[in-house]
Each structure stands twice: as C-alpha cells, then as structure tokens.
Structure 1
C-alpha cells in the first residue's frame, strides 16, 4: 500500500512544481498603436496629406495625442512576471508632422532607451519635428498616473 501513496506524492509534487514555474512565465501585453515601418514607407513626405495618412495608417486613437501640426501614435509593451508589478519594456512613439498646407513634413519614430528619448528613424524635409517638448513630457509622464490624480482624494 505504500507504493500508491509515494506515486501520488510524486505526482502532486510535479503538478505543484509545474504550476509554480508556469506562474513565473512572463506575460507580455501591448497597449496603443504605432504604425510599422512597412506602413510608414507608404507615406510620401511633402505629398501626402492628413486624409491620405489616415487612409494608410489610421488616425491616433486618443484625441489628446492628436494636434493640428502633428499626429502622435503611442505603443507600449508591458511585461509582467508572477506577482511583480508590470514593467514597461518598450515604448514607441511615431510623430507625423504636417506643414501649414496640410502635407506631411516629417515622419519620425522615437523609442525609450535607458530612460532617454531617442529618435529611431527620421524622414525630415526641412525643419525638425515640432513639439519635441510634448514628446519629452509624454515619455516622462506616461504610466505615472494614479486614480487619485484623476478622481481626487476621498
């Protein structure tokens, strides 16, 4: 009779071990949308307008990130391991700037490397992207909100 109990104990140990290992597997989650390089390749600087950009890659999903002179697309990748807090492992911001006549002036992709905003890809006509201070604020403040900030103290 001792044999079946030993087998059951081993099986239970294997099940607990497998469950604990599976619980520590990273869970990757993406929020937002940033067009891929292939999608952006279809945008012709100096030719395309807001309407043609909207047809090619869509409009930004958040109204607060859409301004008259530029559209910003933001995508975050979060990694959660076990009971730890989610960690932001990747952030991409695509900035498409429009000139006074409504045509595309610049297409830039920014990333977050070691806590610093860097330009990953840039197609510029004449001037640098307008609103870099907005991007700096976006990278510094994104994810730093609490419910108290919006709802106020109780």
Structure 2
C-alpha cells in the first residue's frame, strides 16, 4: 500500500465521520414550567403575585396588557442535520390574576391545545434602490453636461 492511497483512505474516512457527526440528532430545551406539586400548593383567590413568584419562581413572560398574568413556557426542539428544527413538546402554564392581584385561574396547555402563529415580517420600503457604486458611475457617463463644470 502506497502513502498516497493511505492518505486517500484517511481523507475518505474523515469525510464519512464528519457526515455522521453532522447528522446526529440534537435536542434543545428552553424555558421552565413549574412542577404539578408546586402548582397544587397555590390556592385560587388566596395567593397573590408575590406569593406565586415565591412558590413557583418568576415567570418566563408576563401579561403585556395591564399585568394580566404569569406565563411559564417550556419547549423541546429536535435538530437533525440540515433539516428544519421540529418542536417536539411545548408546555405552558398560565396563571391569571383578578383586579385585586389574587390568583384567578391556573391553566396548563400543551402543543396540541394551541395553534402555531406565523410571524409576519413587514418591511417598509424606503424608496432607495440598492445600487452598487459601479452601476452608479457607469450610469452617469452620458449624463455629464458642460454647465456642471
């Protein structure tokens, strides 16, 4: 076996190992959802915002309008090679409060309970064309007038 064929075999083996490692499934976990035992300790109409935060932790998100509630969200996503990531599991616990800041309702939702909300990307057109410098220079060749000097 020559040194050249040995290098080729090592290069092919390295390429195969790279492909295998790149296609390994990876899981990503985000967020936090309180345990069922911790939620069972909360009492509707008795606990306040502060006692909820102390008992189960601070929320991932809060109500945007008039501080309506606490929202705890946990998501598990699978990444596989170059494919689009797939959401495997999503749990959300929503704790809403009444006007006197007492717990009004505790609800648990799963991925099956909701619907996916597409994010709309809106871009305002400013009317400026994206031209390269070369295009601008070549476009002005015939537009030079003697009065401009």
Tell me the TM-score normalized by structure 1. Answer: 0.63
RMSD of equivalent CA atoms? 2.7
Q: Which is higher, the Rg of structure 1 or of structure 2?
A: 2
Which position in structure 2 is the counterpart of 1:7?
Answer: 6
Provide closer, same or farther for how the CA distance between residues 11 and 40 of structure 1 changes in structure 2, counting only shifts above 3 A.
farther
Secondary structure in 1 matching 2:5: helix
Provide closer, same or farther for how the CA distance between residues 25 and 94 of structure 1 changes in structure 2, counting only shifts above 3 A.
same
Provide closer, same or farther for how the CA distance between residues 38 and 66 of structure 1 changes in structure 2, counting only shifts above 3 A.
farther
Tell me the TM-score normalized by structure 2. Answer: 0.65
Q: Of the candidates 116, 123, 129, which is equivalent to residue 140 of structure 1?
A: 116
Unaligned runs of 5+ in 1: 118-135
- Bigger mean CA deviation after superposition, 87-96 or 75-84: 75-84
For residues 35 and 48 of structure 1, the distance between their equivalents in structure 2, rounded to whole angstroms, comes to 16
User: Offset of 1:20 from its aligned partner?
Assistant: 0.3
Secondary structure in 1 matching 2:16: helix
Q: Which has the higher strand share?
A: 1
Deviation string 1:108-151 (CA, Å, 9 cap, x unpaired) is 221113xxx0xxxxxxxxxxxxxxxxxx5xx431xx215x23xx
User: Offset of 1:54 from its aligned partner?
Assistant: 0.9
Unaligned runs of 5+ in 2: 126-149
- Bigger mean CA deviation after superposition, 58-67 or 82-91: 58-67
Number of aligned residue pairs: give it.
125
Provide closer, same or farther for how the CA distance between residues 49 and 58 of structure 1 changes in structure 2, counting only shifts above 3 A.
same
